[in-house]
Structure 1
Amino acid sequence: MDPVHDTWVRPSRTALPVVWALTRAAMLALLAFDGRFPLGVGGVAGEVHARYAHWGATLAQGTFPTGDPLWQYPPGAGPLLLAPGLLPGLTYFQAFVTLTLAADALVTYVLARGDRDPRGAWLWAAGLPLLLHVPLARYDIEVTALAVLALLTLGRAPRLSGTLAALGALVKVWPALTLLGVERGRTARQVWGTALAAATAMLLFLALVFRAPLSFLNGQGGRGVQIESLGGTVLALARLAGWPGRVRYQYGAMEYVGPWVGVVATTSLALTAVAFAVLLWWRLRARRHTEATPYDAALCAVLMFTVTSRVVSPQYLVWLLGLAAVCLTSRRTTQRPVALLVLAAAGLTGLAYPVLYGDVMAGTWTGVGVMAVRNALLVAAVWVSFRALWTATRR
């Protein structure tokens, strides 16, 4: 965007550490009061206390959690969940939150570093608390840190960028999309070649150190339609109209069961395939490339795969906030309106979970309304993002 027509106010970096410290202190306070009024349903921290700690103990014995249907994560997640148990003097929960805050601080630092536009760092620092205390009780900040670093090192160290993207992909797959917008030619060959080599080496290492590194594949096939997803909103509206389905806890999430759920799940998978085809089409047709193109393409791609997913857990917004923040570090980004939509969606996500999650599960008009508006914002973000990306790279 031309600086003359840039209506955003350029913020200062000086207050950023203070704002980061105050907002993270507030998030820690919310974590301490998890489940109490007015935070809605509890259990946000239970993911770490019970499930992650149990998996960490299993991994410490040299094996992935085989036979556990809730283990649905690529093998790179293993070392990440094992690490908190290795910190001395802290409980697993305390160590987990400490490492998560360290990753959060690293993301803020690299976004604000050098001559980058500080609006990116401000979006991350001020936007993440919109998800309340949920980000501190999930490991998505660490994954986002790998993706952010992969994008921001792309121009000066393409091989390092490819390695970081590969590590992130082995933890949660989606960071592989950060390489989608790399300009064709020597840089692309370096990045993709290094990413492939790093992923292969890491997989071989994990196969040597742990047993059953691919056991996560068994837990993916049975996933249904989570109530927070776009398909879940369709079913929630149908439920208000008399559809007989119900909500049940399975595969670590609240999902719909009943007639037509399988059709909705299959449709979601089909839409994901369509999204992949559209992105491939864009990649083949793109002609114009700027420093911001890889950032914009990464945000657009992850938005597409988020909206078409059967899951869309609240922590998915951590990914989108991180990628939107990277886009705003460049004055040539096309994604500023998308960043605003992501911020609004993050605010509604924090309201839906945990504050109004009881209403979301019960399918009340309030719960369905909040989720419908949140998902409508994400759909709008996909449209605005791809349209801006297509226009900028075909011009």
Structure 2
Amino acid sequence: MNRRIGFWTAFVVVHAVLVWICLGLPGTGVGQNALGLPLGDVTFVYRPWIEQALSGGPIVGITEPWVYPIAAIVPMFAAMAAGPDQYGQAWLVLVTLLNAAGFAVLLGTRPSRRREAAAWWWLAFTALLGPIALARIDGVTVPVAVVALLIAARHPFLAGVLLAILTWVKVWPAALIAALVVASRDRVAVLLAGAATSAGIAVLVFVLGGGEHLFGFVGEQASRGLQIEAPVATPYLWLASAQVETSFIYYDRQILTFQVAGPGSGEAARLMTPLLALAATGAVLAGVLAVRRGASVVRLLPSLALALVLVLIVFNKVGSPQFQTWLIAPVVLGLLYRGRHFAWPAALALGLAALTQLLYPYLYGMLLTATPAMVALLSVRNAGLVVLLAWALVDVWRAGAAADQSSSSAFSRRSTLPVSSPE
């Protein structure tokens, strides 16, 4: 009981501090610096979209194209329950409650040491990542994704439904669906659940009159340039830092984000989409090979899920600090399934979270001016993501190799049994 009280006390403290920062930490300028305003997207982007819809204007994703999948509008509408003046506060309450539900499911009624370790890691990661962990649409998807992975073994169909809904909020949970389909014996249930859920959402959107914009987010993303935090943008940031005339940071008012331009940046942006698809396909094939070699779900699923999530980050021309929250679900699963064998990627992820909080919101203005120290910090963070991806892919391969070795050992033991053995 005392351990549970300690856990929930820490949960409240971490979230209270992050909420305080999001609403404007006195004396630091965090709340006043619009360039690094933690709650900026929520109050300056999400709220106007909902106010526009409620006032009889266009509805994003229904009457006009939108950068997000259509289900993202649901939590944005939900945060309006307390009124426009309290929209930011309501959003923070919503994400905190979802996190609390996810933590409760993770701990269970009788938490094991692995469950407690995974829960403490989740808290530490959230604290190190900072306010961005709560202040974006991604924060809504993370705790539900954790729950979906935790229940997948016993309730694969429900897990598939949850992950499909999340994919229609923010695309990244599709990586978890792919990992489950490859690694789990219940892949048919997951696929059927995902297909049925997606079909239901599509029908609803068509009924509401938004059929022509159902996949509008794909085109919106495909037309984007290189966002400054994406790993592929790092060389151009160094050129801008060196004050090379052809390389510079600019604000795209249509997408509402900072991007970088330089020699060949347009071609690089166009190349990243097929590269991402190719890398994701390669990771899936590595997982399929591991399964064919006999890798178990417990051994393979966490690493494969982590690899696929990291592919979506490393090979993406879009890069935002909230993308780091995507690491939570696969790492929590890895700590739960494999314990100390997942300690190294878990520790590296904590370091990446801490670097990300330095980048945003506190020193973001320096990054926008391509200050060398900040470009170097971002370069280290992005290099860490590549290292973590390499570890995950190697571990996927080792899962298959370990299964091969186990099968060989079992065969060797059987081949040396005496003829009179009961076997």
Q: 1:367 to 1:89 in 2, by over 3 A?
A: closer
Query: How do residues 344-359 of structure 1 correspond to structure 2 at under 5 angstroms?
Result: 344-359=351-366
Of residues 240, 245, 248, the one that matches 2:247 is 245
Q: Name the Cα RMSD after superposition.
A: 2.5
Contact 2:92–2:135 (Cα < 8 Å) also in 1: yes
Paired AA for residue 226 in structure 2: V
Structure 2 residue 367 is the aligned partner of structure 1 residue 360: yes
Shift of 1:195: 1.1
Residue aligning to 2:125: 127
SS state at 1:83 partner: helix
Q: 1:20 to 1:85 in 2, by over 3 A?
A: same
Structure 2 residue 201 is the aligned partner of structure 1 residue 194: no
Of residues 257, 264, 269, the one that matches 2:273 is 269
| Range with bigger deviation, 249-258 or 106-115 | 106-115
Structure 2 residue 13 is the aligned partner of structure 1 residue 22: yes
Give the unaligned 5+ runs of structure 1: 1-10
Paired AA for residue 309 in structure 1: N
Contact 1:335–1:385 (Cα < 8 Å) also in 2: no
Q: Please give the alpha-carbon distance, in whole angstroms, between the structure 1 residues aligned to 2:3 and 2:303.
A: 24
Q: Based on CA coordinates, which of the two structures has the bigger radius of gyration?
A: 2
Aligned length: 384
Shift of 1:43: 2.6
Shift of 1:370: 0.6
Q: 1:300 to 1:13 in 2, by over 3 A?
A: farther
Shift of 1:28: 1.5
Task: Tell me the TM-score normalized by structure 1.
Answer: 0.89
Shift of 1:86: 3.2
Q: Please give the alpha-carbon distance, in whole angstroms, between the structure 1 residues aligned to 2:365 and 2:64.
A: 27
Structure 2 residue 53 is the aligned partner of structure 1 residue 53: no
Shift of 1:393: 2.8
Contact 1:146–1:175 (Cα < 8 Å) also in 2: no
SS state at 2:59 partner: coil
* Percent identity over paired residues: 27
Paired AA for residue 155 in structure 2: A
Q: Please give the alpha-carbon distance, in whole angstroms, between the structure 2 residues aligned to 1:393 and 1:282.
A: 9
Contact 1:59–1:78 (Cα < 8 Å) also in 2: no
Contact 2:19–2:131 (Cα < 8 Å) also in 1: yes
- List per-residue Cα deviations over 1:148-176 (Å, max 9, x = no partner): 12211110101101101100111111112
- List per-residue Cα deviations over 1:165-217 (Å, max 9, x = no partner): 10011111111211233366751111111111111112212332363444434
Q: Please give the alpha-carbon distance, in whole angstroms, between the structure 2 residues aligned to 1:309 and 1:347.
A: 21
Query: How do residues 53-72 of structure 1 correspond to structure 2 at under 5 angstroms?
Result: 53-60=47-54, 61=56, 63-64=59-60, 71-72=66-67
Q: Please give the alpha-carbon distance, in whole angstroms, between the structure 2 residues aligned to 1:28 and 1:143.
A: 18
SS state at 1:255 partner: strand
Of residues 318, 323, 335, the one that matches 2:330 is 323
| Range with bigger deviation, 117-126 or 291-300 | 291-300
Give the unaligned 5+ runs of structure 2: 403-423
Query: How do residues 1-395 of structure 1 correspond to structure 2 at under 5 angstroms?
Result: 13-33=4-24, 37=28, 39=30, 41-60=35-54, 61=56, 63-64=59-60, 71-87=66-82, 91-113=86-108, 114-116=110-112, 117=114, 118-182=116-180, 187-209=186-208, 211=210, 212-241=213-242, 243=244, 244-250=246-252, 251-286=255-290, 287-331=294-338, 334-395=341-402
- List per-residue Cα deviations over 1:68-110 (Å, max 9, x = no partner): 78x3101111212111123579722222111011112122222
- List per-residue Cα deviations over 1:225-267 (Å, max 9, x = no partner): 1111111211112334453211111112110124311132134
Contact 1:120–1:325 (Cα < 8 Å) also in 2: yes
- List per-residue Cα deviations over 1:288-324 (Å, max 9, x = no partner): 1132532322111101211111112000111113331
More helix by share: 2
Contact 1:121–1:329 (Cα < 8 Å) also in 2: no
Q: Please give the alpha-carbon distance, in whole angstroms, between the structure 2 residues aligned to 1:155 and 1:142.
A: 23
Q: Please give the alpha-carbon distance, in whole angstroms, between the structure 1 residues aligned to 2:297 and 2:161.
A: 22
Shift of 1:145: 2.0
Q: Please give the alpha-carbon distance, in whole angstroms, between the structure 2 residues aligned to 1:361 and 1:271.
A: 27
Q: Please give the alpha-carbon distance, in whole angstroms, between the structure 1 residues aligned to 2:123 and 2:209.
A: 36
SS state at 2:297 partner: coil
